[in-house]
Amino acid sequence: MRAAEATKSTRKPTNLSLDSALLKEAKALGINISRAAEAGIAEAVKRHKQEQWLKENASALASSNAYVETNGLPLTRHCQ
């Protein structure tokens, strides 16, 4: 979820347990804790989805790479 999409979606109050020193420092710096937490969670979700996609498509990627190693890139002859 991108930040722009997050601001348009329905927000839900949530309880979090955070490191107290980190929370104190963030508040002193004027950081919006809810937005910062949301951005971090969005990044974690994005990273997890990327890793999941790579796992699910590992055999197809390996097959494609093996083909290119054996035969070269399919359209190389048109680029010369």
52-62, pLDDT tens digit by residue?
999 999 999 99
- At 49, the pLDDT band (50, 70, 90 cuts) reads very high
Query: What average pLDDT does the segment 30-46 reach?
Result: 97
| Contacts with 18 (C-beta within 8 Å, 6 or more apart), sequence order | 33, 37
Average pLDDT, the chain: 91
As a dihedral over the C-alpha atoms of residue 8, residue 44, residue 35, residue 2, rounded to 10 degrees, the angle is -30
